[in-house]
């Protein structure tokens, strides 16, 4: 088996308070390997405000500015403006937020930051629901998923619509670079975060991060399930830069059923619902491949 070629530096200490098998904790560890110590993280209310540990202890070996739920884009702009005012140009500014804090309550400030072309990396760790408050539906919760606010019940009130197309929204908003990453593909992840560091402007990283309690999976399976998301085409790994899309891992080989049935939050899905998910994934994947090809053709 080939060895991973990841940077050795560890900027997440032992003793964090993430759940066993927390995808977002592994994600932070991998991202910080790529980001390095000259990074300022700012982060809203989210799982990570707890995962980092309780005052006076802190699990990260980089400075972290905490703030309110909807502020990540704005605080990032403020940090960058102050660094510019002070003539400091060797610091990476990172906004680190969950999916609800990004696509729902934080969308306005994020859109503002993109509009201002703030030079920073926004990393959305997408565990597909409000997990810190105990699994409520967000704009990133997938179609038909169970959460505590899409509980099914007599009226079958599961999530009724697909995830918000946040990457497309931000591309049309004006990001300089966009990439999807997964904890199951760490080298791809590190390569993309390192690349984001070299680009001026707003960079958006959409990171799928599995959540054992929220997805109702065993904590030992979080990487495996995340890998299935890519192998089924549900979460393809691609990049966007200067109008061009690149599909980094064309590994869609498995039916969505395998991914869905590995998780308790989808256990109620009927064959018809699974078929509908498959239909949509096939369509979206084909559309993405067409965009990648189009980009290739135009050079």
Partner 1 sequence: MLDLMTGNAAAAKAAMLARVEVIAAYPITPQTSISEKLAEMVANGEMNAKYIKVESEHSAMAALIGASYIGARTFTATSSQGLALMHEMLFWASGARRPIVMPVVSRALGPPWNIWTDHMDVMGERDTGWMQLFCENNQETLDLILMAYRVAEDKDIMLPAMIIEDGFILSHTFEKVDVPAIEEIDFYLHPFNPDVKVNFRKPRRYGSLVMPDWAMEFRYNNALAMEKAKKKWVEAGIAFKKAFGRDYSSLVELYRCEDADVALIVAGSAAGTAKVSADRMRERGRKVGVAKLRAFRPFPTEEVMRLGEGVRTIGVFDRSYTFAQGGAIYGEVRNALYPMASDVRVKGYIGGLGGRDITEAEFEKMFEDLLAIAKSGSMSKDVEWVALKDGSYRW
Binding of partner 1 by 37 (CB under 8 A): yes
Which listed range, 45-53, 155-163, 197-205, 248-256, lies at the site for partner 1 (CB under 8 A)?
A: 45-53
Interface pick for partner 1 out of 26, 40, 193, 208 (rule CB under 8 A)? 40
Distance CA 232, CA 155 (A): 29
Interactions with partner 1, residue window 104-143 (CB under 8 A)? 108-109, 111-112, 115-116
47 vs 135, beta carbon nearer partner 1? 47
Under the criterion CB under 8 A, does residue 239 sit at the interface with partner 1? Answer: no
Query: Half-sphere exposure of residue 279, counting CA atoms within 13 Å on the CB side?
Result: 7
Asked if 66 touches partner 1 (CB under 8 A), the answer is yes
Minimum separation from the CB atom of position 77 to partner 1 (A): 5
Does residue 201 interact with partner 1 by CB under 8 A?
A: no
- Nearer residue to partner 1 within complex by CB, 2 or 87: 87
Closest CA to 206 of 75, 64, 60, 99: 99
> Which span (62-70, 156-164, 229-237, 278-286) binds partner 1, by CB under 8 A?
62-70
Burial 234-254, CB ≥16 within 10 A → b, else e: bbbbbbbbeeebebbeeebee
Task: Indicate the residue among 67 and 192 with the shorter CB distance to partner 1.
Answer: 67
Backbone angles phi, psi at 245, to 5 degrees: -105, 140
- H helical segments located in 97-220: 107-115, 166-173, 186-198, 212-215
DSSP state of 180: E
In the complex with partner 1, the residue whose CB is nearer, 62 or 244, is 62
The Cα–Cα gap between 227 and 153 comes to 30
Stretch that binds partner 1, among 47-55, 168-176, 185-193, 282-290 (CB under 8 A): 47-55
Nearer to partner 1, 7 or 78 (CB): 78
Torsion angle of the four alpha carbons 229, 11, 193, 181, in this order, in degrees rounded to the nearest 10:
0
Give the 3-state secondary structure of residue 188: helix
At its nearest, how many Å lie between partner 1 and the CB of residue 179? 24
Q: Which of 4, 5, 55, 153 binds partner 1 (CB under 8 A)?
A: 55
> Is position 74 an interface residue for partner 1 (rule: CB under 8 A)?
yes
Helix (H, G, I), strand (E, B) or coil at 263: coil
Burial class (CB in 10 A: 0-12, 13-18, 19+), 221: middle
Burial of 176 (0-12, 13-18, 19+ CB in 10 A): middle
Query: Among 97, 32, 92, which Cα is nearest to 59's?
Result: 32
Report the residue number, 51 or 269, with the smaller CB distance to partner 1.
51
**Looking up tokens 């061009």, which residue turns up?**
244
56 binds partner 1 (CB under 8 A): yes
If one asks whether residue 68 binds partner 1 (CB under 8 A), the answer comes out as: yes
299 binds partner 1 (CB under 8 A): no
Stretch that binds partner 1, among 52-60, 159-167, 247-255, 279-287 (CB under 8 A): 52-60
Site residues for partner 1 per CB under 8 A: 37-38, 40, 42, 49-50, 52-56, 58, 60-68, 70-71, 73-79, 81-86, 88, 108-109, 111-112, 115-116
């Amino acid at each position: 088996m080939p060895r991973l070629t990841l940077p050795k530096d560890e900027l997440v200490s032992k003793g964090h308070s993430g759940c066993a098998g927390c995808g977002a904790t592994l994600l932070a560890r991998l991202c910080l390997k790529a980001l390095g110590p000259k990074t300022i993280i700012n982060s809203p209310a989210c799982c990570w405000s707890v995962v980092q540990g309780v005052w006076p202890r802190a699990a990260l070996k980089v400075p972290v500015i905490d703030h309110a739920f909807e502020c990540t884009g704005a605080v990032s702009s403020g940090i960058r403006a102050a660094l510019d005012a002070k003539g400091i140009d060797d610091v990476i500014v990172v906004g680190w937020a969950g999916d609800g804090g990004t696509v729902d309550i934080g969308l306005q400030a994020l859109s503002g930051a993109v509009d201002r072309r703030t030079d920073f990396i926004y990393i959305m760790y997408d565990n597909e629901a409000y997990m810190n408050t105990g699994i409520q539906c967000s704009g990133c919760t997938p179609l038909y998923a169970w959460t505590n606010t899409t509980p099914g019940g007599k009226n079958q009130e599961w999530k009724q619509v697909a995830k918000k197309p946040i990457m497309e929204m931000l591309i049309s908003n004006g990001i300089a670079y966009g990439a999807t990453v997964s904890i199951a593909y760490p080298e791809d992840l590190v390569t993309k975060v390192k690349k984001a560091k070299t680009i001026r402007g707003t960079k958006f990283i959409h990171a799928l991060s599995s959540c054992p309690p929220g997805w109702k999976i065993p904590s030992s399976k979080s990487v495996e399930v995340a890998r299935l998301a890519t192998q089924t085409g549900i979460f393809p790994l691609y990049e966007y830069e200067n109008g061009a899309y690149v599909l980094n891992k064309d590994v869609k080989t498995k039916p969505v059923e395998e991914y869905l049935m590995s998780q308790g939050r989808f256990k109620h899905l009927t064959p018809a619902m699974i078929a509908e998910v498959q239909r949509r994934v096939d369509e979206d994947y084909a559309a993405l491949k067409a965009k990648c090809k189009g980009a290739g053709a135009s050079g």
